[in-house]
Structures are given as C-alpha cells and as structure tokens.
Structure 1
Amino acid sequence: MGLNKKNRSIVLQGLAFLAFAMQPIILPSQMPGGNGIFHSPMTLVNIFSNILLFCFFYFNYYYLIPKLYYSKKYFVYAAAIATSLIIIIAAPHFILKQLLPKNVDFRPPPPPPGPGAMHFHDKPGYANSFYRFQEFFSDYDQVFFMFVVIVSVSLFLWVRSRWFHTEKARHEAEIAYLISQMNPHFLFNALNSIYTLTVTEKADRSSESMLKLSDIMRYMVVESGNESVPLEKEVAYISDYIELQKLRLDPGVNLEFNVTGSLSGKRIAPLLLIPFIENAFKYGVNPDEDSEILIDIVTDADAVQLQVKNRKMSVINNGLINSGIGISNTRNRLNLMYPQKHLLLIEDTPEFFSITLTIYFR
C-alpha cells in the first residue's frame, strides 16, 4: 500500500535530515583527524552544526518569517538571524567540550607538509593579531555558506507559498462570485417555467416540475461550493434540467439529448456546462417558429466534450435578453479552473448558434 501525500512528505523530509546531518562524513570539507572519522572533533562539530542548521530552517520558515519578517519587523528579524547564527556556531563547541576529554583540540588538522605550509595558529604573532579573526572565518566558512543559503531558500519558499495561497484564495473568491451570479439567473428561469405550467397545465405536471426543481436546487446548494464533482452527478443535473424544460415545450420542438461514453471515475467543476444548455433553451425556443435544440455529451479517457446547437429565433423574449451573462461568467470560470486545459469553439451563423466545449482531464 503506497504512502499518502502527507506521509510521503514526512519520509522525504526525514531522509533529507539524515543526508544533511551526515554531510560532513559523506562529503567532508577537511581531512579527518584522530583515530577515525567519527572521532574527529571537527567532524562531530560539523554534524552538530548541520543538525542545528536543519532545525533553524523550520524555525525561520514557520516562526521568524511570518512573525517578524512579514510583520515588517526587519531589525528584530535581523537580530534573531544573527543570534541564531551565533548559537549554531557556539553551541556545538560548548556542548562537545563538556562531553569530550579536556585535551581534545577542536581546531582543524594542519595542512600536509609542503613549501611554505603553515597553519594560522603557527604563524608569528598569532595570539594577538588579525590571524585569529581570519582563522575563525576560514574554519567556519561552510557553516556561513549553508546558513546564508538556508535563510535565502526559506525566504524564497515562504514568499512563493504565500503568493500561491493568495492566488488560490483570489481564484476561489472569483469563482464563488461567478457562481453566485449564475444561480439566481437559473432560479429565475426555472420558476418562470413552473409558473407557465401552473397557469396552462394540470396540477400533476406542476408537481412533477417542482420535484425536478427540488433535485436541481439541492444539487446547486450542496455541490456548487465544491471544487469538483463526479461527472455522473453533473450530467444527471443537466438531465433533470432538460426534463424540466420539456414540460413547457410544444410537441413540435425538435429536442435531442445524447450522452456517449463512460462517465465513471471522471470529475468536473460543478455547474460548468449548464449555461450553454440554458442559452439554447432561452434563444432557441419560440412557439411561433420551428425550434430545434441538439445537445450531445461525449466523453473518453482524456476529455469530455459538450456540443450544443440551436436554431436561432427571429423573435426573442425581452425578459431573456440578458442571458448572455451566464456564458460570459462560464468563460471566466473556464480560464480560472482549466487554464490551457479547455477549448471553446462558438459558431454563430444567421440560422444556427452552436458551441463545442472540450475539457481535458490531463
């Protein structure tokens, strides 16, 4: 059984910790001294320093950056960074000196013999000269380098993460706003259909339409807030909508609705297809003219395709003149939720209006 995303992340971070802590052994910056690599004082110091550096990454990422840097407390943040560096350098020496024998030399081993080879502490005037300061940075250049890298990487990752979450929140807000605009528009049309039935038809047909509307509204309330829904549910919702519209259509209207391919195991953003179908009923039905609406949903392993075609009416109900809002909103939702993963083709001729929308799953 494979690991889930959270457990996989924990395992990877654990492996990264072990590799980073053991770096002084795997890739030593200096030849070890003593009786073996694990007995080299500087190797132990570097291992301890790497462990502290690794812990500092999380401390900086989860506490210092959000609490100080993001709050624009730059001076306090710089002081905290400097203090952390001092602790990372001093703590390994202090703790290991308490654990190891007193005569252990923590200085790195001298260079191999050669012309002019001389360690800092063997140079004349070492005790009271600039050589001590120079040796300090020479011995800890690796710690300084890793510390700067860790500070830079943690800042980059945090800023990138915050930008990503900000963009996601903005997209979710825009999508919620677009859906909120579409739902009242659909409710108006559905109630208008039921009103027509109530006036012109028998009570049993009105009750049937109310049940359909109840199912439709339940779907809109429950599913519209989700990022995606099973494709079967979306198609069932469309089918209920079409059945509701059939109740008010004249027998002479040529209406075809076909679904081809397996819907199982596929997901789609909710309420994404219905505006195109709504548009066909709003602009493609007139009791005084020959009306035709053709709706096809075709799906395969890689994509789902919606094709809607309606004959254009010469007379349009003025109350529906603003129905283009639904398609405009859907265009925006497609750009937000399926960037580079959808294709919308619209054909507008004097006699017919048709759309072909393809949404790719991969």
Structure 2
Amino acid sequence: MKEQATRPANLPINPHFSSGPCAKRPGWSLSSLSDALVGRSHRSKGGKAKLQEVIELSREVLGIPSDYRIGIVPGSDTGAIEMALWSMLGARGVDVLAWESFGKEWVTDITKQLKLDDVKVYEAPYGKLPDLAQVDPARDIVFTWNGTTSGVRIPNGDWISETREGLTFCDATSAVFAMDVPWKLLDVTTWSWQKVLGGEGAHGMIVLSPRAVERLTSYKAPRPLPKIFRLAKGTELIEGIFSGETINTPSMLAVEDALDGLRWAKSIGGLSGLIARSQENLKAISEWQATSDWADFLATDPATRSSTSICLVIKDAEVVQWDSKKQASFVKSMTGLVEDAGAGFDIASYRDAPLGLRIWGGATVETKDIQCLLEWLDYAFTTTKSKLQA
C-alpha cells in the first residue's frame, strides 16, 4: 500500500523563500517607505543625505574599518564586481576560485572578456570547495564567499595571507549581514541590496581597502572603461561615489528600502543578531535533514554549508534511479504543490545547479516559517511520489 501523507494544518506566515530578491524583514509593509525622497533629485541635499546614510549604516552594522571606502554603484552585485574586475585586474597574475554559477561567470569574464594572460582557475563541482591552499598570495584572488547557487560557503579566511602582495576580490552578496566576513583580509568586497536584508534591486555596494584604492589610483587598466565602470579619474579616486553621489540615478524607493533594512538590523542587535537568526534557520533544516529519508544537503562538508542559500538534493533511492526528465518533472510537481498551497514560493534549485531545492535562510526569514515549510516539503514529497507511482 502506498504511503499516504497528512496535509499540514498550518502555513508559514511569510512563504517567501527566494534566494534573490529575498524575503522582506518581519513586519515590513509599503508604509515603511513613506519617507522615501520620491520626485526629488538624488543629487539634492536630501537625496545625497539618504545615500550617505546607507553607506554609514552599512559600515556601522557590518563593522567595516574606518579607512575602507564604501560606495553605491549601478547594476547590483554584478555591476559592482564587474567594475572592480575591469578597473583593477591585469596588474599581476590572477587566481580565480569557482564552485558554482556566479564564480564561473567571473572566470568567463576574466578569461574570455578581459582575456588576461596570466590566469589560474581553481574549480570544484557543485557541493564542494576547491583547495584554497592552492592560491598564491603574490597574485590577485577572485572568489565568492558564499556560493548562492550551490549552498557552499567559505568557512573562514584562514587561507588568505595577511601579508599578501595581490588583492582579494570577494563577491560577498549572499554572505554579508549573515556571516562573519574578515574585512582586513578583503580588498574589494561587493554585494547587493536584495539579498540578506531583503532590499529592492537596483544598485550594488562596493567596499575598497586602502590597498585597493592604491591600485585604482596607480594602475591604468589597458582597456576602455564605460562610464558606469569608472571608479577613478586619472590618478584620483572619484570621491563622490563614496559620499552619496552615485554614477547614475538610483531609485529613491529602493534607497529607502535599504535604509529600512539597515535600521531593522540595528534594532535586532546588529551583525551578531543577523548572524544568529540565519544560523537558527540552518539549524532547523539540519535537524530536519538528519532524520529525513529523502533529502540531503548539496554541500557535502557541514563546515561549508551556507546558512543563507540552503541547497538540498533528493537522496531517495528510487527517485535517484529515475532518468533526468522524470526527476525534473518530479521536482517541478513537488515545488508546484507547495506553491499552490501558499506554503513556499521560489524554492526550486537554480537553473544551472544540480536538481533539487534551494531555501533562503537569511536573517529576514523567521525560523518558525522554515519549520512550517519543512512539514510541507515532506508532504509534497510523499504525495508527489505516490502520484507518479500510480
């Protein structure tokens, strides 16, 4: 007799588990943006003050050193990391680490678009990290801190030399505000508003160490740079980018939303409070997975499991024997059931990642909602499998 699943009685209060744009903070509503400076120039005194406040609050919440520059730039995290790569790479050899989709995009940019000669690529399959000991501190290093599409994170910065000669370029978009990022080991760090604090898309953030600023003002990249990529003019840093004067026009609604998220972060204890909330979400899924007979983590090493983009694969012996088309149909049906019930939206794995589930566990997600979602996943798995066996 086929196993019959019991439909859960409750739904998550907030069923939004997308890995970007991510869930809004608890209690958020459109009224939270009532103070947005709409209909005004972002270059007005009030507009620049709002943008500068985003910079100052980001520094305060994240504990960014006072001598590091923080800028707001176009194009979300992608724009921020691209402008850094195009502006600064080429001064010395480059080591690139990749173990998921976005890291591989930076490999493509560096090797196919920038066409740098001295590049070493260290890759690992989804679920694992490359050997971090391979990197050379005499060379520039490009990497993601957290693999948003693989659920694999770097556990610490012990592998980065404090006396490095090269610069470290870190795409930290799904790590900052949820993980302890060692700023003194990072020279260029980027992220986007729509990740851990659940802001709206538009602009990205870029943080430069004094060593990165020195590179920008002393090295002229041997390639044309469009206006939106320019962080320096000649031998001078474009200071306005780091004091509330963005390169192009930001949405002041998105700016207000970023401020709302940062103020909320302060209200729950700052970075330590944010990290604790995300870790509780990972703990809830870890405890559930430990007793699950069908779900496993994509990240094979517990020390590298992300607490934000939590990626799961199906380990059920029967399902893993099916062909890829049937497996894809199964996951689509399973996630569709959860979505139709209003229990969880956008939980399928990233399109380039191994087939499975991806649950956002960042600080804006309530653990009780995660726990409720897990009940629905068990129900959806059993129900969907039963239908396919019929």
Which structure has the larger Rg over C-alpha atoms? 1
TM above 0.5, yes or no, is no
Which TM bucket (shorter chain)? under 0.3
TM-score, length-scaled by structure 1: 0.24
Normalising by structure 2, we get a TM-score of 0.22
Higher relative contact order (Cα pairs below 8 Å, separated by 6+ residues): 2
